[in-house]
Amino acid sequence: MRLRKETQRIGVWRTVAAAITLGTILWSGAPAFAEEAPSSASGNVALQVTSWLLTAPYGTFKAAYAIGGSIVGGIVWLGTGGNTQTAKSIWRPAITGDYIIRPENLAGQRPLHFVGKTD
């Protein structure tokens, strides 16, 4: 029984470490833009495969962020007596944004927005 709890604890720490690493990567520095390079079929396939592989963990963290923002926004809405404007200021950036990484994001042709716009 004790071994099982230690194994679960290690799994939790690995998840926390992965989340911190991904967050550090996403929020560090300004976006870099790729130089224009001649387009090739193999380059396009590589970008598509890479974007698909990166979308799995990225989309998971983005969905978790959106769910957390929805919950916090709901708590704020209740705590402010139904003030929708205040709750929307939390909901909108958490729920909007990009949930998938496209090849254009990796090529530097389109910015990737983890946090949505607050207009």
The pLDDT tens digits of the residues spanning 59-90 come to 999 999 999 999 999 999 999 999 999 999 99
pTM for this model (two decimals): 0.62
End-to-end CA distance of the chain: 52
**For residues 25 and 110, which has the higher predicted lDDT (pLDDT)?**
110
User: What would the two tokens of residue 14 be?
Assistant: 């690995």
Tell me if 110 sits within 8 A of 104, measured CB to CB.
Answer: yes
Q: Rounded to the nearest 5°, which phi and psi values hold at 117?
A: -70, 150
Of 51, 67, 63, 59, residue with least CA distance to 104 = 51
The DSSP code sequence of 78-95 is HHTTS-HHHHHHHHHHHH
